[in-house]
Amino acid sequence: MSTRAYNFCAGPAALPEAVLRRAQAELLDWRGIGLSVMEMSHRSDEFVGVASKAEQDLRDLLAIPANYKVLFLQGGASQQFAQIPLNLLPEGGTADYIDTGIWSKKAIEEARRYGTVNVAASAKSCDYFRIPRQEEWTLSPDAAYVHYTPNETIGGLEYDWIPDTGDVPLVADMSSTILSRPLDVSRFGLIYAGAQKNIGPSGLVVVIVREDLLGRARSSCPTMLDYKVAADNGSMYNTPPTLGWYLAGLIFEWLKEQGGLEAMGQVNRRKQQKLYEFIDASSLYSNPIATADRSWMNIPFVLADAGLDKAFLAGASARQLLNLQGHRSVGGMRASLYNAVSEAAVDALIAYMAEFEKENG
């Protein structure tokens, strides 16, 4: 049996043990060719095979329509904060952004360098505890796109609905929610996600973009950041992050073996439900987010007495329940329940929380 700890890190996050074991087994000699995947040309038949299988598996998992390109890029989700306006916001244009927390605010600040940003709605007025419904949004009639953050990794807010922006392309930062359940990709103009939560190791960002949005980059856009250049070159305009791409491919295969996103969605639904139910029934722990807007993947909670935080974390570590400390900007605790965090991990966490409450409540 494994001695691996239960890892609740927000990212880089837990990876499935089966994937790590497979990568380990293949590391020195990838499928009998005498090299590791890191040591072969990205243009070799072998690597191109790895890359296109990963793309196809992702397409299968998310049922990505044929008129979307899938790009495997670098620079993390943060680079997308600039790359999106450089590609989709014409000089002098306006883009609508929805502010639901720290990650949407970062996207807003970066986009302001490239044009006019209309913050069409903000959760600020309710202390970021609730997502404004679409009836409360003030969208601009001439927006080049609408950007939102379906899951706020730090605040723990998640939309359980997809905004309807008509003909205006909807752009979504899905870094911490992609692959957690089925998704209707056709509702979006562009989806992006840093890999280090549900896709694989850091160093890779996946972009799913509708083909008609390619070829719109402003002339000052660096070649490396032009989506069309990436799409025309199969994400190999330069040397891609080959190890990360390969590992993402192993994760996609693993997800298919688990039964795909329908099955993952059922497990993920149960995992978060259990933890929220426990927190809501407790008098020591609490989560402030409006019930309908609670994140499945990132569950922040505080202890009624912050003086107990240290003891709580120490006890958790002693039980191999790791990385439960909240983000440095907000404190408290946070349990991230990505795909590779098993239901047994959530059960172990709840058992520990109950025991700690009994001793300290």
254: CB partners within 8 A, 6+ apart:
16, 18, 19
C-alpha 150, offset from chain centre: 9
Q: Mark the segment that binds ligand PMP (CB under 6 A) among 71-79, 271-279, 314-322, 347-355.
A: 71-79
In whole angstroms, the minimum distance from the beta carbon of 204 to ligand PMP comes to: 9
- Restricting to residues 333-352, which ones interact with ligand PMP according to CB under 6 A? none
Nearer to ligand PMP, 37 or 297 (CB): 297
In whole angstroms, the minimum distance from the beta carbon of 228 to ligand PMP comes to: 22
Quick check: 256 and 275 in contact, CB under 8 A? Answer: no
Q: If we measure between CA atoms, which residue out of 157, 172, 159 comes closest to residue 210?
A: 172
- Restricting to residues 138-197, which ones interact with ligand PMP according to CB under 6 A? 149, 153, 173, 175-176, 194
Q: If we measure between CA atoms, which residue out of 310, 319, 305 comes closest to residue 349?
A: 319
In this structure, are strands 170-173 and 146-148 parallel, antiparallel, or unpaired?
Answer: parallel
> In whole angstroms, what is the distance from residue 238 CA to residue 233 CA?
9
List the one residue from 78, 116, 320, 342 that touches ligand PMP (CB under 6 A).
Answer: 78
Token representation of residue 344: 């047994």
Nearer to ligand PMP, 165 or 177 (CB): 177
Given 30, 57, 105, 197, which residue is catalytic? 197
Q: Mark the segment that binds ligand PMP (CB under 6 A) among 40-48, 70-78, 207-215, 328-336.
A: 70-78
Q: Is 238 annotated as a binding residue?
A: yes
List the one residue from 30, 103, 114, 128 that touches ligand PMP (CB under 6 A).
Answer: 103
In whole angstroms, the minimum distance from the beta carbon of 351 to ligand PMP comes to: 28
Token representation of residue 11: 């990212």
As a residue count, the chain comes to: 361
- Restricting to residues 293-312, which ones interact with ligand PMP according to CB under 6 A? none
**103 included as an active-site residue:** yes
Q: What is the DSSP string of 238-286?
A: S---HHHHHHHHHHHHHHHHTTHHHHHHHHHHHHHHHHHHHHHH-SSEE
List the one residue from 46, 48, 76, 304 that touches ligand PMP (CB under 6 A).
Answer: 76
What does the DSSP 8-state code read for residue 294? B
Q: What amino acid occupies position 347?
A: D
Given 57, 69, 103, 226, which residue is catalytic? 103
Q: Is 196 annotated as a binding residue?
A: yes
Q: Is 173 annotated as a binding residue?
A: yes
**CA 251 → CA 61, 195, 255, distances in Å?**
11, 11, 6
Given 57, 173, 226, 293, which residue is catalytic? 173
Q: Is 127 annotated as a binding residue?
A: no
Residues belonging to the active site:
103, 173, 197
Q: Which residues bind ligand PMP (CB under 6 A)?
A: 11, 76-78, 103, 149, 153, 173, 175-176, 194
